[in-house]
Amino acid sequence: MMDRDDPGAFCAHGRITVDGAPDGPLAGLTFAVKDLFDVAGVPTGAGNPDWLRTHPVPARTAPAVQALLDAGARLTGKTHTDELAWSLAGENAHYGTPVNPAAPGRIPGGSSSGSAAAVAGGAVAFAPGTDTGGSVRLPASYCGVYGLRPGHGRIPVDGVVPLAPSFDTVGWFARDAATLRRVGTVLLPGPPAPRPARLLIAADAFAIAGEAVTAALADAVARVAALFGSAEPVTLAPEGPDALVSIFRTLQAAEAWAVHGAWITATRPSFGPGVAERFAGAATIDPAAADAAARQRAAVRARLDDLLGGDAVVVLPTAPGIAPRRGASGPEVEANRNRSLALLCPAGLAGLPQVSIPAATADGCPLGLSLMASRGADAALLDLAAQLGDSA
């Protein structure tokens, strides 16, 4: 188990304890929050010392965090994030890399790196993170835990440092499906979820991940298929994965600069490798290119809505492989980022919910399997994850 005081997961400025309500649906559970979430009286650092230095201490707790406290959970700290959440690796040039308890010596994934590591190591029962381009789903796969990216707009992002608002979501990690669903009863309240009727297998996504990952996940895919009785192969990106990644990266960069460009220009913050280059590129995005990408995104969204039809679930690999080793070269990191985005960006572009389930191992390291559902079917995904957990 990871030590609660391990500086690899928790922020030095976020070592706090906030008791929740004396009772409620989450009573007895502890949680930590990614250092993008405001907690009243505690600095929000967003993974960057210059952000920490130039922003006031928040006076109000983010509504999503307050809902968890009101439901009886106890907050035990704030966890590290990549700078302004713009990375999938979890390696922060200023604060270091959280330990991946499931694969020591390998990255935990980002940008919700500390939250995933804290859950995987047993420091807390669950931990909220954010997912813009995969920042809950990818760390969940790398660290061998459950992670939900809810549908866009399902959970309020007030009091959360943004990156790309049309993609940003509040998700969370847990070691078991029952806890994941228990948190969902608070953050995603509503009537019982209807069970999806159809299972689709994303053939192009498995092709991107390759034969080794496909073989490792085969038993888990068979368990999912057994719940439905049959499955149909489909193609998520008939235009090709590179086209979807290009749409996503153009829109994300344009939004990130719109949100943070003025602060960056005025403050000239120190960014680590990768993040610095991404913000420099974001400053040069042509508005016409962003407009074209927005139109393309609308077509992707319509196609995926039609494919799912309101009653289907798509199964696909969460990641193109196990967690890379820490300290990989810049070109290696970028190549893995692009392959990962090819699997992660469909849900982001369409604003759909997706859950990553710890489904297999390869070379002794975790591999996640994802289920993506139609708009509004977040609770159905949590129910399916629980069913699969029970059948494992």
* CATH number of the domain within which 173 lies: 3.90.1300.10
- State the catalytic residue, choosing from 135, 141, 370, 374: 135
138 and 246 in a single domain? The answer is no
Cβ(200)–Cβ(234) below 8 Å: yes
296 and 368 in a single domain? The answer is yes
Give dist(CA 85, CA 326) in Å, integer: 18
Q: Is residue 53, in this structure, part of any structural domain at all?
A: yes
Total domains in the fold of the chain: 2
Of 130, 160, 187, which one is at a domain's C-terminal end? 187
Q: Bridge-partner residues for 325, per DSSP?
A: 106
- State the catalytic residue, choosing from 34, 87, 356, 374: 34
Give dist(CA 213, CA 210) in Å, integer: 6
241-275 as b/e: b if 16+ CB within 10 A: beebbbbbbbbbbbbbbebbeeebeeeebebbebb
Q: Is residue 386, in this structure, part of any structural domain at all?
A: yes
How far apart, in Å, are the Cα atoms of 315 and each of 130, 197, 357? 22, 13, 11
* Per-residue model confidence as pLDDT tens for the chain (392 residues): 344 446 489 999 999 999 999 999 999 999 999 999 999 999 999 999 999 999 999 999 999 999 999 999 999 999 999 999 999 999 999 999 999 999 999 999 999 999 999 999 999 999 999 999 999 999 999 999 999 999 999 999 999 999 999 999 999 999 999 999 999 999 999 888 889 999 999 999 999 999 999 999 999 999 999 999 999 999 999 999 999 999 999 999 999 999 999 999 999 999 999 999 999 999 999 999 999 999 999 999 999 999 999 999 999 999 999 999 998 888 888 889 999 999 999 999 999 999 999 999 999 999 999 999 999 999 999 999 999 976 65
39 and 82 in a single domain? The answer is yes
330 and 247 in a single domain? The answer is yes
Of 187, 210, 236, which one is at a domain's C-terminal end? 187
376 and 262 in a single domain? The answer is yes
Question: What pLDDT does residue 390 have?
Answer: 67
Domain that holds residue 61: 12-187
Give the list of residues 6+ apart from residue 288 with CB closer than 8 angstroms, or none: none
* 135 is annotated as an active-site residue: yes
Q: Is residue 1, in this structure, part of any structural domain at all?
A: no
169 and 289 in a single domain? The answer is no
305 and 264 in a single domain? The answer is yes
Question: What pLDDT does residue 331 have?
Answer: 85
Query: Residue 280: CA atoms inside 13 Å, Cβ hemisphere, count?
Result: 9
37 and 124 in a single domain? The answer is yes
154 and 247 in a single domain? The answer is no
* 78 is annotated as an active-site residue: no
pTM of the model: 0.96
375 and 227 in a single domain? The answer is yes
81 and 170 in a single domain? The answer is yes
- State the catalytic residue, choosing from 87, 111, 112, 113: 111
Of 163, 187, 211, which one is at a domain's C-terminal end? 187
* 111 is annotated as an active-site residue: yes
Q: Is residue 7, in this structure, part of any structural domain at all?
A: no
Question: What pLDDT does residue 94 have?
Answer: 97
Q: Is residue 2, in this structure, part of any structural domain at all?
A: no
Cβ(343)–Cβ(120) below 8 Å: no
Q: Is residue 368, in this structure, part of any structural domain at all?
A: yes
Q: Is residue 317, in this structure, part of any structural domain at all?
A: yes
Question: What pLDDT does residue 6 have?
Answer: 61
333 and 250 in a single domain? The answer is yes
Q: Is residue 6, in this structure, part of any structural domain at all?
A: no
Cβ(123)–Cβ(9) below 8 Å: yes
Question: What pLDDT does residue 3 have?
Answer: 43
Cβ(142)–Cβ(99) below 8 Å: no
